[in-house]
Chain A
Amino acid sequence: MSAEVKVASYLTQYTGGKEIIKVEGKSVRECLHNLVQKFPALQKLLFDKNNNLLAYFNVFVTGGAVAFTDKLDISVKDGDTLTLLFIIGGG
């Protein structure tokens, strides 16, 4: 399956300036790991030592499903967009 990951703008310094990156994978987990293979600097920015997505990020999948922390085994269809939302809480 081929999907697109849309990353937060501040992460584009680690993705060669790209905000939208084509990835391969049948689940959100596989797609994110494919993303990290392409841009290894993202590993520490996105995942903890147990390979769970950091709490600062939620992944919104086309259709409304949301992947987070260790809940990453959501199916991805061909052409889906995965929006990697950076959660902010300042005021």
Chain B
Amino acid sequence: MLTPEEKQRYDRQIMIPSIGETGQEKLKKARVVIAGSGGLGSPISLYLAAAGIGTLRIIDNDKVELSNLNRQILYWEKDIGKYKTDSAEIKLRQLNKNITVETINTTIDESNVSELVAGFDVIVDAMDNLPTRFLLNKAAVEHQIPFIHGAVSGLDGRAMTVIPGKTACLQCLYHSVPPKAKFPVLGTTPAIIGSIQATEVIKYLTGIGTLLTNRLLMYDGLNMEFTELQVARFKDCECCGKLKLEDKT
């Protein structure tokens, strides 16, 4: 049940007919894990906290640096040198006292990824490298948890939603893994992609609209174009190929 304060707080999104109070209650009960608290993680966590997601788990192991501040809007000059998780937790609690914010200061790797995501309703990909994204994608498939992918470089962005067993996973999409490298980025690029990811989370949890599944959304900020690439489940996919094909598209 929503409290009178919550009804007032979320009034503008409750007004959306397909969300309503029922949808808002679903958001309140939801548990979402955000892997990474940088350029993508900042807008994702801010919008999901503001939208009233009941529990947010935020995982990151970095400290705030001056060069983060062009895009990582959760952090300000006074936060330089602090752990991002500590800083993020303070800001998000100040934004919305009604939600639970769990922060975990660790590096996601093969040994801990499964434990970190188990029991959550959605995994949001806000990482800064592809190898860890593949670990998260694999854990999402194993636990059958929807996985909301996003990535950025320069003025380019990508987003795709994975419903394990039903739609193409990240490994159906990418067949090679570029090495981890320092990447250029304009701050508005993760703002746009992170906002799309947060929208997908809310749509999935409330069951509204059409998800960004089996298609990669490609944002080209230089030409201000959005295009899509159709992606099919890969029957021999090393990650999700063993799951029953519930949807051939």
Contact = CB atoms under 8 A, between A and B. Distances in A.
User: Are chains A and B native binding partners rather than an unrelated pairing?
Assistant: yes
Interface of A: 8-10, 53-58, 60, 64, 66, 68-69, 71, 83, 85-91
Contacts of B230: 64
Nearest to A60: B229
A8 B126 CA distance: 23
Which 7 A-B residue pairings sit nearest by Cβ, starting from the closest?
A: A90-B183, A89-B130, A88-B153, A55-B176, A91-B128, A68-B175, A91-B40
A88 B156 CA distance: 8
B108 interface: no
Nearest to B72: A91
Interface string B53-73: 000000000000000000000
Interface residues of B, number: 39
B39 interface: yes
B78 interface: no
Interface string B212-233: 0000100010110100011010
B229 A91 contact: no
Interface of B: 36, 38-41, 125-130, 133, 150-154, 156-158, 174-180, 183, 185, 190, 216, 220, 222-223, 225, 229-230, 232, 234
Given A55-B176, A55-B177, A58-B174, A88 B158 contact: yes
A56 B179 CA distance: 8
24 contacts: A8-B156, A9-B156, A9-B223, A9-B225, A10-B156, A55-B176, A58-B174, A58-B176, A64-B230, A64-B232, A68-B176, A69-B176, A88-B156, A88-B158, A89-B128, A89-B129, A89-B180, A90-B151, A91-B36, A91-B38, A91-B41, A91-B128, A91-B151, A91-B152
